[in-house]
Amino acid sequence: MAKAFVSSILTANDLREGWSVFLTRDGRWSRDWADLRVAASAEEGAELSALGAAEEAARHVVGAYLVEIDAEGRAKLRRERIRAEGPTHRADLRRADALTEAA
Amino acid sequence: MYRYDEFDQRFVEERVAQFRDQARRRLSGALTEEEFRPLRLMNGLYLQLHAYMLRVAIPYGTLSSAQMRKLADISERHDRGYGHFTTRQNIQYNWIKLEETADILAELASVQMHAIQTSGNCIRNVTSDPFAGAAADEFEDPRPTGELIRQWSSLHPEFSFLPRKFKIAVTGSPNDRAAVKAHDIGLRMIRNEDGDLGYEVIVGGGLGRTPMIGKVIRGFLPKAELLPYLEAVMRVYNLHGRRDNKYKARIKILVHEMGEEPFRKEVEREYARLDVESLAAPAEEVERIQAYFAPPALENLPEESKAFERARTADPDFRIWAETNLHPHRAPGYTSVVISLKPVGGAPGDATAEQMRVAAEAADLWAFGELRVTHEQNLVLAHVKKDDLYPLYRKLAGAGLDSANRGLVTDIIACPGLDYCALATARSIPIAQRLTERFADPKRQRDIGPLSIKISGCINACGHHHIGHIGILGLDKAGAEFYQLTLGGDPTETAAIGERAGAGFSAEGVVDAIERLVDRYLEIREPSETFLQTYRRTGAESFKDALYAEAG
Ligand code: HEM
Ligand code: SF4
């Protein structure tokens, strides 16, 4: 049986600047994890992936992939939360609204 | 100190121009990421968890104050005001822009630095003893050997597509401070019965997912035969090393699978076939290189310094710092100074632009304008007059560079881990932060004595955890960070891979577990015994019940 689809957002790295970016509802790449376009079904997931590939081909970003989110809209994996919120070892390197527990 | 000759300078500048063009073609669409990736990696540019990461080589860990200032400038202008000094004696920047990388490489080239051979399946930058050329116990400065190897290997057509990356370390002292037994090739200078200098050649060490201690394949190699002999080792590796599986491609696997003795025989057979004369470095070349590393003009000084003694009596913090952070120098009245990059609560090896500048200034004022980066992620001023120690210390203290903990429990090595690294399974830095906080008390640290804790955020072992007295490996268990301990590792001439202690610990639990370990050591040690000595005497069992007491 196919794995049930988990709601996901699209991330990549900005090709020029390198920073991790996230695709917003209005189709922009943003450094902020806010107002992101969410794929709620397998079809929407495939669409979002295709969009990522197109954005790579257009040389806006590099390394696009889907990130699974939980019911609160946060990345499920710690890795992805740190990627979105910044390193956890220095408060000044983190986003002000970072939620990931410091170790 | 080493300066590029004209040829090298032109080579580095050409590489910068080449990369500028490659980056331009990537941005214009002429190159795909697949095509561009190997090119950027050849120039030290990785794509990491947050952004591009640039790894800059610091050959044998030696750099000038001007180079250190350039590193500071780059961190400010092109990054977020800090850099990370690593176990490979290089520096990494975490927040680099692709469109600025060629400019950064050009700036580096202007002070004769580069990011070449920090990545890829080539012979990587040679590492050595941070006290090279200064240490009291040294036969000879190991850096000319490193440089000879660099020049020989840099553009060697046979060696730029090896089965896998290749790391060489050299120590000029019988006391190994370069972890040579944990490298693909380790060279240890020794004297034979006739008093001639040569190398003990150690092959097949390495960490990563299959940690191995290198095997001595030649007990004494006359100095002049170094390059031909290395050529023979590399040929055997190139011929027989596995290319089908990247996890089995390192030379350690070859030595292990072939067996030590057959491998040795194969090397000697290859060596017998080589034209040793023509492959050996010409004597003039060796002399030329040696001259680059000529020691600075040291004064004739008395062994004791009155100014030092006075300051030691007057300022107890200075006295404590001087007890741990100095290293014996071969010349009377001089010492080497370790600048710890391990403040309580800090990220091991991180330095701000301001700290890099202060270290550079201190080097200019009191250390012949020269600095070193250690594989323990600290800095060293190699040649300092004892007379100058107090003003030097005051200057360091003003920039938070005065942690008095070299070699103690808070002098922790940690890889970037999940805070930066795309391959990580768990975080390393926060564990180091919690541990340094837990053991912050200077009196307690000194009572514990020499103890190295090394942390890696995944099995690649960039944090050298296998050779820490206490090693910590961060893993992921069903979404939770989870830390496995190894005990009894040793990076020195008595090298050993640490033994797994048993079940792992949570992020919260691991700090308590280590505290229990340390307390057990304090209970059972004999007078003046170090942690490692106690562990070797009593074995793992006497520690395990302390570790797992809580669980029972
Ligand atoms: C952050 C990006 C990094 C990546 C992607 C990376 C990747 C790797 C990988 C894949 C290995 C295993 C190689 C093998 O066994 O064949 C390795 C080993 C190693 N790396 Fe890193 N590393 C990174 C950072 C570092 C840093 C920051 C240091 C220095 C602190 C470092 C030093 C080492 C060392 C000493 C080894 C030891 C294993 C050996 O070569 O035998 N690496 N790294
Ligand atoms: S050990 Fe793993 S987590 Fe740490 S830097 Fe190396 S690859 Fe990254």
Domain count, chain B: 4
Give the residue from B46, B98, B511 with the most A CB atoms within 10 Å of its CB, the best one to mutate. Answer: B98
* Beta-carbon-side half-sphere exposure of residue B174 (alpha carbons within 13 Å): 6
Determine, yes or no, domain membership for B1.
Answer: no
From A75's Cα to the closest Cα of chain B, the distance in A is 12
Q: Is the pLDDT of residue B153 over 90?
A: no
Pick from A20, A42, A17: nearest CA to A33: A20
How many whole angstroms separate alpha carbon B374 and alpha carbon B341?
A: 10
| CA B526 – CA B211 distance, rounded (Å) | 31
In the reported structure, the alpha carbon of residue B207 is separated from the centroid of ligand 1 by a whole-number distance in angstroms of 9
Residues B540 and B447 in one domain: yes
Residue B38: both structure tokens together: 């190997």
- What CATH number corresponds to the domain at position B197? 3.30.413.10
* Average pLDDT value over all residues in chain B: 92
Q: What is the B461 CA–ligand 1 centroid distance (Å)? A: 6
Q: Are B210 and B257 in contact (CB under 8 A)?
A: no
Residues B543 and B472 in one domain: yes
Residue A3: inside a domain: no
User: Does the residue A98 lie in any domain?
Assistant: no
Which chain A residue has the Cα nearest residue B28? Answer: A59
Number of domains in chain A: 1
- Please tell me whether residue B219 adopts helix, strand or coil conformation: strand
- Answer whether B508's CB lies under 8 Å from B526's CB: no
Nearest CA to ligand 1 atom 7: B460
Q: Distance (Å, rounded) from C-alpha B402 to C-alpha B397? A: 5
**Would A2 be classed as within a structural domain?**
no
Half-sphere exposure of B545 (CA within 13 A, CB side): 5
Q: In this structure, what DSSP letter does residue B301 have?
A: -
**What tens digit of pLDDT does each residue of B19-41 get?**
999 999 999 999 999 999 999 98
CA distances from B88 to B121, B138, B374 (A): 16, 21, 8
Q: In whole angstroms, how far apart are CA B225 and each of B97, B169, B191?
A: 44, 17, 15
Cα radius of gyration (chain A): 14
Nearest-by-Cβ selection for A59 from B29, B50, B51? B29
- Clarify whether residues B183 and B237 are in a common domain: yes
Summarised one tens digit per residue, pLDDT across range B164-185 is 778 899 999 989 999 999 999 9
Helix pair B33-42, B6-28: axis angle to 10 deg: 160
Q: What is the pLDDT of residue B163?
A: 67
SS (H, E, C) B137-165: CCCCCCHHHHHHHHHHHHCCHHHCCCCCC
Instruction: Indicate yes or no: pTM above 0.80.
Output: yes
> Does the residue B318 lie in any domain?
yes
The alpha carbon of B41 and the centre of ligand 1 are apart by a number of angstroms equal to 14
Q: Among the three residues B257, B292, B327, which one is the final residue of a domain in this structure?
A: B292
Q: How far apart are CA B398 and CA B373, in angstroms?
A: 20
For the CA atoms of chain B, what is the radius of gyration?
23
pLDDT at residue B123, rounded to an integer: 74
Q: Tell me the CA–centroid distance for residue B500 and ligand 2, in Å.
A: 19
Residue B396 has pLDDT above 90, yes or no: yes
Return the number of other C-beta atoms located less than 10 Å from residue B463's C-beta: 32
If asked whether residues B146 and B280 sit together in one domain, one would say yes
Give B48 Cα–ligand 2 centroid separation in angstroms: 11
> What number of helices (H) and strands (E) belong to chain A?
2, 4
- The count of other CB atoms within 10 Å of the CB of residue B523 is 10
> Ligand 2 pocket test: which of B53, B460, B466 has the largest number of ligand atoms within 8 Å of its C-beta?
B460
Q: Does A62 touch chain B (CB under 8 A)?
A: yes
- Cα–Cα dist B318/B393, whole Å: 7
Assess whether the C-beta atom of B348 lies below 6 angstroms from ligand 2: no
Q: Are residues B189 and B315 both part of a single domain?
A: no
A33: Cβ contacts below 8 Å, ≥ 6 apart: A22, A75, A84, A85, A95
- Helix/strand/coil for B444: helix
- For A80, the closest chain B residue by CA position comes to B49
Is A18 touching B (CB cutoff 8 A)?
A: yes
Q: Coil, strand or helix: which one is B177?
A: coil
Q: Is residue B403 part of a domain?
A: no
Residue carrying the six token digits 């920047």 = B93
How far, in Å, CA of B285 to CA of B19, rounded?
A: 30
B224-237: average pLDDT: 92
Contacts of B290 (CB under 8 A, 6+ apart): B144
- Look at phi and psi of residue A35 and say left if phi exceeds 0, alpha if psi is from -120 to 50, else beta: left
Residues B311 and B288 in one domain: no
As given in the structure block, the two tokens for residue B515 are 């505290």
The C-alpha atoms of residue A64 and residue A54 are separated, in whole angstroms, by 10
Residue A87 located in a structural domain: yes
Q: Tell me: the pLDDT tens digits for B490-500?
A: 999 999 999 99
For residue A40, tell me if it sits in a domain.
Answer: yes
CATH number for the domain harbouring residue B364: 3.90.480.20
In a domain, B123, yes or no: no
The chain B residues in contact with chain A (CB within 8 A) are 26-27, 29, 33, 47, 49-52, 80, 94-99, 347, 418-420, 424, 427, 429-431, 433-434, 479, 481, 507
* Nearest-angstrom CA–CA distance, B192 and B195: 5
Q: How far, in Å, is the centroid of ligand 1 from the Cα of B444?
A: 33
- Shortest Cα distance from B322 to chain A (angstroms)? 29
Whether ligand 1 lies within 6 angstroms of the CB of B460 is answered as yes
Residue B448 is encoded by which pair of tokens?
Answer: 């514990």
Label residue B151 by pLDDT band (50, 70, 90): confident
One domain, residues B37 and B75: yes
Percent of chain B with pLDDT over 90: 77
- Same domain? For B66 and B168 the reply is no
List the single residue in A18, A56, A88 with the smallest CB-CB distance to B419.
Answer: A88
- Nearest C-alpha of chain B: how many angstroms from A7? 18
Q: Is pLDDT larger for residue B472 or for residue B7?
A: B472
Distances (CA, A) of B79 to B91, B100, B225, B232: 13, 10, 44, 43
A11 vs B: CB within 8 A: no
Domain end marker among B338, B362, B397: B397
**Cβ neighbourhood burial of B220 (10 Å; 0-12, 13-18, 19+):** middle
**Is residue B404 one of the residues assigned to a domain?**
no
Determine which of A29, A90, A95 to mutate to test the interface with B (most B C-beta atoms within 10 Å): A90
Best of B27, B37, B49, B103 to disrupt the A interface by mutation (most A CBs within 10 Å)? B49
More confident residue, B410 or B15: B410
Q: Who among B27, B29, B50 is closest to A83 (CB)?
A: B50
Q: How far apart are CA B44 and CA B285, in angstroms?
A: 29
Same domain membership, residue B64 and residue B106: yes
State which residues form the domain around A45: 8-93
Does residue A1 lie within any of the structural domains? no
Is residue B47 predicted with pLDDT exceeding 80? Answer: yes
Instruction: Answer whether B89 contacts ligand 1 (Cβ < 6 A).
Output: no
* A79 found inside a domain: yes
For A64, residues 6+ apart whose C-beta sits below 8 A from its C-beta are A10, A11, A12, A49, A52, A53, A55, A56
Q: What would the 3-class secondary structure string for B417-439 be?
A: HHHCCCCCCCCCHHHHHHHHHHC
- Ligand nearest to the backbone CA of B214: 1
Substitution target from A79, A80, A83 for chain B, most B beta carbons within 10 A: A79
Q: Which residue in chain B is spatially nearest to A77 when comparing CA positions?
A: B479
> CB B427 to CB A93 under 8 A?
no
Q: Which residue of A has its CA nearest to B507?
A: A103
Pocket-testing residue among B460, B464, B473, ligand 1, by greatest number of atoms within 8 A of Cβ: B460
Q: Ligand 2 test: best mutation among B456, B466, B473, most atoms within 8 Å of CB? A: B456
CB atoms within 10 A of CB B352: 17
**What is the C-alpha to C-alpha distance for residues B434 and B431, in angstroms, rounded to an integer?**
5
Q: Are B404 and B374 in contact (CB under 8 A)?
A: no
- Helix or strand (DSSP H, E) at B498: none
pLDDT for B255-276, tens place per residue? 999 999 999 999 999 999 988 8
Confidence (pLDDT) at B552: 40
At residue B1, the pLDDT reads: 43
Distance (Å, whole) CA A98 – CA B199? 53
Tens-digit pLDDT profile for residues B348-382: 999 999 999 999 999 999 999 999 999 899 999 99
Which residues from B are below 8 Å from A16, CB to CB? 27, 97-99
Residue B343 inside a domain? The answer is yes
3-class SS string, B362-397: HHHHHCCCEEEECCCCCEEEEEEEHHHHHHHHHHHH
Judge if the beta carbon of residue B70 lies within 6 A of ligand 1. Answer: no
Burial of B6 (0-12, 13-18, 19+ CB in 10 A): exposed
Domain-located, residue B136: no
Query: What is the pLDDT at residue B117?
Result: 61
Nearest 10 degrees: Cα torsion B234, B235, B239, B240: -50
Q: Are B273 and B315 found together in one domain?
A: no
Mean pLDDT across B441-450: 96
For residue B73, being part of any structural domain is answered with yes
Q: Residue with structure tokens 């005065």?
A: B402
Q: Measured from the CB, is residue B68 less than 6 Å from ligand 2?
A: no
**Last residue of some domain: B241, B267, B292?**
B292
Spell out, as residue ranges, where chain A has pLDDT lower than 50. 103
Domain housing B455: 413-548
Tell me: do B78 and B190 sit in the same domain. Answer: no
More confident site: B204 or B162: B204
Q: Are residues B425 and B529 in the same domain?
A: yes
CA angle B353, B409, B387 (to 5 degrees): 60
B349 CB near ligand 2 (under 6 Å): no
